[in-house]
């Protein structure tokens, strides 16, 4: 039987799959011609953002809750999370009709708080970090004798997440490499258990944010390590210390752990939106981000797991803007014009002659920094690529138009 010991097996993952069959979606494995051309390998996207609640987390949460005794179910469950785990536990509890309390940090996204409540959970806002919320969740669990569900360091959760590995093998029997996002390591541990026993030749590559390389550091030192962490948009994998269970599994059979930075994540998210019409959260895009930057061997069948799609709408807008800018497709310039009729039209005509799209114009003649008789115009422009941006810049210089590139 699957329990919180080190003895989690391939058979436990198979049992989890049998439990999930009628409730959890078997998500699509989609061949991407676009990303295959970019990388040189055959890229198949495992679309876990299509899963119920928008992420893979429902898999482990549901299997854990399904494994509880009737007495444990009557007493309810409690969990701590600022994001996908909270929604997974809340939804799984709703399916099984059991009491559920979720402790979330006070600074959690209002959208994620609302979504968690929407699945029927009682939400308690406590602390400003995950560690503080987790400590309070443990207190609730002890006082109420309810079962606490860890986000990743739990044998049933690991087995449930591992079903993704079984699905990949079923959908692409000749897969060569699977790229797995890593935070606490629950998903990676599950994939390893599901794949390596029957298909040891398949490489499993873990991908962390370079701001939180906790599992990578732990493997390098052969012991659990805690990292301080840094600012990153990939909050879903911002884990300071890996799990004990997950570390023991990962260290035995993972082939490699690599890292990506925020600019690489933004690029992957932007390309997923533009080319695949897929909205994937930062943590969900790290696997693809790595293979876009570091091309796999030509001809290999590779699967990046897109593990979630729950993203704040404000952040999504920033990603689009930064993605365009990073690809040289968004340009912002500041021009000081004479404050006379037709001056702005002349500037616009020069820009239009290069077939550049004007997104926004801010006209300022009243600020104290602007001299009398002048007007400062800030223009946001959308271009086809960096080459067209350079063409516009050179054209304005040839016309002796004085300007500054802001971004």
Percent of the residues in the chain that have a pLDDT greater than 90, as a whole number: 73
Residue 220 φ then ψ, to 5°: -60, -35
Residues 6+ apart with CB under 8 A from 247: 185, 215, 218, 224
Could you tell me if 26 and 90 lie in one domain? Answer: no
Instruction: Pick the range with the lowest mean pLDDT from 35-39, 137-141, 174-178, 347-351.
Output: 347-351
pLDDT at site 368: 65
Could you tell me if 399 and 337 lie in one domain? Answer: yes
376, 364 Cβ separation under 8 angstroms: yes
**CATH number of the domain that residue 41 is part of:** 3.40.50.1100
Strand partners of residue 237: none
Could you tell me if 175 and 235 lie in one domain? Answer: yes
Nearest alpha-carbon partner for 174 in 204, 202, 195? 202
Q: Residues 72-114: pLDDT tens digits?
A: 999 999 999 878 999 999 999 999 999 999 999 888 878 889 9
Could you tell me if 310 and 192 lie in one domain? Answer: yes
Could you tell me if 160 and 286 lie in one domain? Answer: yes
Residue 5 lies in a domain: no
Give the tokens for residue 355: 């077939």
Q: Residues 291-329: pLDDT tens digits?
A: 999 999 999 999 999 999 998 888 888 888 888 887 788
Could you tell me if 164 and 47 lie in one domain? Answer: yes
Exposure string of 188-215, with b = 16+ CB inside 10 Å and e = fewer, is bbbbbbbbbeeeeebbbbbbbbbbbbbb
Over residues 206-227, the mean pLDDT reads: 96
pLDDT at site 2: 45
Could you tell me if 296 and 196 lie in one domain? Answer: yes
Domain assignment of residue 79, given as a range: 57-148
Mean pLDDT of the chain: 92
Number of structural domains (the chain) is 3
Domain end marker among 322, 345, 364: 322
pLDDT at site 255: 98
Say whether pTM exceeds 0.85: yes
Could you tell me if 161 and 224 lie in one domain? Answer: yes
Q: Residues 136-182: pLDDT tens digits?
A: 999 999 999 999 999 999 999 999 999 999 999 999 999 999 999 99
pLDDT at site 342: 87
pLDDT at site 123: 96
Judged by DSSP in three states, 249 sits in helix
Could you tell me if 270 and 362 lie in one domain? Answer: no
């Amino acid at each position: 039987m699957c329990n919180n010991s080190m003895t989690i097996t391939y058979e436990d993952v198979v049992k989890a799959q049998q439990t999930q069959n009628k409730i959890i979606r078997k998500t699509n494995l989609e061949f991407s011609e676009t990303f295959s051309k970019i990388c040189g390998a055959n890229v198949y996207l495992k679309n876990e953002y299509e899963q119920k609640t928008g992420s893979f987390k429902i898999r482990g949460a549901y299997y854990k809750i399904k494994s509880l005794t009737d007495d444990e179910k009557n007493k309810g469950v409690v969990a701590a999370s600022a994001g996908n785990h909270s929604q997974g536990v809340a939804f799984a509890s709703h399916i099984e009709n059991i009491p559920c309390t979720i402790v979330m940090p006070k600074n959690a996204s209002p959208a994620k708080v609302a979504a968690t409540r929407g699945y029927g959970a009682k939400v308690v806002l406590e602390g400003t970090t995950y560690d503080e919320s987790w400590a309070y969740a443990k207190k609730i669990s002890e006082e109420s004798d309810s079962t606490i569900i860890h986000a990743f360091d739990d044998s049933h959760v690991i087995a449930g997440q591992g079903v993704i590995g079984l699905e990949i093998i079923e959908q692409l029997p000749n897969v060569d490499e699977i790229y797995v996002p890593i935070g606490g390591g629950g998903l990676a541990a599950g994939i390893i258990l599901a794949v390596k026993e029957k298909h040891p030749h398949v490489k499993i590559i873990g991908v962390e944010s370079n701001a939180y390389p906790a599992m990578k550091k732990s493997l390098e030192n052969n012991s659990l390590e805690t990292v301080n962490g840094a600012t990153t948009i990939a909050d879903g994998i911002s884990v300071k210390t890996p799990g004990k269970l997950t570390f023991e599994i990962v260290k035995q059979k993972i082939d490699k752990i690599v890292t990506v930075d925020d600019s690489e994540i933004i690029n992957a998210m932007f390309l997923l939106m533009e080319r695949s019409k897929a909205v994937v959260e930062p943590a969900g895009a790290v696997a693809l981000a790595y293979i876009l930057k570091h091309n796999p061997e030509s001809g290999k069948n590779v699967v990046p797991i897109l593990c979630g799609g729950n993203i704040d709408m404000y952040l999504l807008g920033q990603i689009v803007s930064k993605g365009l800018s990073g690809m040289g497709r968004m340009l912002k310039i500041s021009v000081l014009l004479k404050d006379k009729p037709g001056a702005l039209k002349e500037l616009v005509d020069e820009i239009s002659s290069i077939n550049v799209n004007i997104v926004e114009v801010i006209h300022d003649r009243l600020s104290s920094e602007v001299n009398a008789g002048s007007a400062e115009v800030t223009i946001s422009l959308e271009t086809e690529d960096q080459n067209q941006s350079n063409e516009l810049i050179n054209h304005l210089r040839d016309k002796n138009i004085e300007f500054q590139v802001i971004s």
